[in-house]
A and B are shown apart, each in its own frame.
Chain A
Amino acid sequence: MSTWRIALLVAGKDLRVERRSRVVTNQVVPFAAVTMVMFAFALDADAVLQRVAPGLVWLATLFSLLVLVQRSYAIETDDGALDALRVAGVDPAALFWGKALALAVQLAVLEVILIGTAVVLYGAEVRAEGLVLLVTTLVTATCSLAVVGTLYGGLAAGFRGRETLLPLLVLPVVAPVLIGATRAVEAALGTVPGAVVSEGWPWVGLLAVFAVAFGVGGTLAFGPLIDE
């Protein structure tokens, strides 16, 4: 079987597990939503909330990413499934892309819900001219977060203390994604006074470079990381 075929199978397996266990819908999405409400309590004023809405959406996404990555590897390591996959001779690169794909799908769903929440709770508005930028940003940022999460999650998988180690490793790494995605969404939604849509595109470029760099890095490094 080709690498892509195996990757799709792995992704399908992860998504099926999630659909049946309903952890994402019953726990992760409510967690992200409650985070958004907590931000409102912390920042208080309506005008401030509308201004910082894109940043808060991405912060909530990052926190949820940590939960999702833990979850994604917990189902692998609990029953020794990761070892079984390796024994079955699954190409590590295919495993990496499969898990990243499944994570990306979950993240994308979550981001759409969070932007909807920002529209309802914070009064952010999605404007027609920024729609292309918004969708492109969501796609590239999701890819970046998924590859980084899969790579570092695989590193910490199966070790005691991984719950505390993962945020320490992942958050500094995704700082460029947070900056880039926040600025791009600000430009797309026009939450900052005088923001024009074209200002967002350089940030999408940054996100794309990030996704490619860590995608290649992850493909090469995932084998040595889990092969022990």
Chain B
Amino acid sequence: MTQTSTAPRSSDPGPQRAARRPGTGTTATRVLGGVTLVAIGWLVAFGLGFSPADRDQEESVRILYVHVPTIWVAYVAFVVTAVCSGIYMFSRRHSLGWDRAAGASAEIGVLFVALTLLVGALWGRLTWGVFWQWDARLTTTALLFVTYIGYLAVRRLGGSHHQRARRSAVIGMLAVLLIPLVHWSVRLWRSLHQEATVLRTDGQVRMDGLMLFSLFVGVIAFTLIYVWLMLHRTRVMAMEDALDDHGLEEALAARRAEGDRPDGER
């Protein structure tokens, strides 16, 4: 047919692409990564060094500085997933960027819930003597974990990007509806976990000052890790989507070029 279809399309913007550095890092994420590393070092210093051992739990209390921040990040991640899903569904543009942010956030959330459960089981073994207890908060967290594994499975069902986005947005929003119901039902069922010590309604915090400070360092460090992972994962997802779209175009162009060859026309 025309000249453009006979020439391989990829050769056109090729040299420019190759000149650009591949990867998802920018100056901003590198600075953020540096700050995150410093925060982790700070957490290690306070969590393992400066903070005192507990009167009852002794050294094992140091698990607290990982256990609480990881679940905090997981909750934040799932709220972000729900909010991004909502924005995707209800905005007029239905921008895929929101869908990718929701997916990236859910992946990181699942990772951090897994960490919380793992670390919590170890801590439970040390303080309660068992890895697992059928108490309200543990059970809710386990169900939360499975629910979002299901969400991630739905994201991989296939279909177009917008099909994926719509399906997962519905699941992302339903999951938020589900969590209070699960928590309520399991609370009615049974409860053993210690009551919240920091976020108490009467405003009094029952914790040693230095331990509390170390915990805040932990929350800051893990929140920074979340933001850093989130930026990179969202960009990787954008690249994957672009590869899906672009890869198809390339294949089509190659097939057309084959069909246009003189020996192909008989």
Contact = CB atoms under 8 A, between A and B. Distances in A.
Interface in B89-121: 89
Contact of A225 (B162, B170, B181, B185): B170
Interface in B198-247: none
A69 to B, nearest CB: 15
B163 A228 contact: yes
Interface string A191-228: 00000000000110010011001100100010011001
B31 to A, nearest CB: 39
B8 interface: no
A87 interface: no
A173 B188 contact: no
A159 B157 contact: yes
Interface string B178-190: 1001101110110
B157 A179 contact: no
Contacts of A168: 146, 149-150, 153
A224 B159 contact: no
A175 B182 contact: yes
A165 B156 CA distance: 11
Contacts of A156: 157
A85 B159 CA distance: 21
A44 B15 CA distance: 73
Interface string B26-53: 0000000000000000000000000000
Contact of A176 (B157, B167, B182): B182
A89 interface: no
Contacts of B178: 172-173
A221 B185 contact: no
Q: Chain A: interface secondary structure?
A: helix
Contact of B89 (A151, A173, A224): A224
B174 interface: yes
A169 B178 CA distance: 12
Interface residues of A, number: 29
B189 A224 contact: no
B188 A206 contact: yes
Contacts of A173: 147, 174, 178
Interface residues of B, number: 30
B171 interface: yes
Contacts of B248: none
Contact of B159 (A151, A203, A214, A228): A228
Interface in A148-163: 151, 155-156, 159-161
Interface string B140-167: 0001001101100110011110110011
A99 B111 CA distance: 36
A180 interface: yes
B192 interface: no
B150 A217 contact: no
Interface in B10-26: none
Contact of B188 (A160, A161, A202, A213): A202
Contacts of B169: 224
B177 interface: yes
Nearest to A218: B174
Given A168-B149, A221-B174, A228-B159, A179 B89 contact: no
Contacts of A179: 185-186, 188-189
Nearest to A202: B188
B166 A172 contact: no
Interface of A: 151, 155-156, 159-161, 165, 168-169, 171-173, 175-176, 179-180, 183, 202-203, 206, 209-210, 213-214, 217, 221, 224-225, 228
Closest 3 CB pairs of A and B: A176-B185, A172-B146, A169-B150
23 contacts: A155-B167, A155-B170, A155-B171, A159-B159, A160-B158, A161-B157, A165-B150, A165-B154, A169-B171, A172-B182, A173-B178, A175-B182, A176-B181, A176-B182, A176-B184, A176-B186, A179-B185, A206-B184, A206-B185, A209-B181, A213-B181, A221-B170, A228-B167
Given A175-B185, A176-B186, 14 more contacts: A159-B157, A159-B158, A168-B153, A169-B171, A172-B146, A172-B147, A172-B178, A179-B185, A203-B188, A206-B185, A214-B174, A221-B170, A228-B163, A228-B167
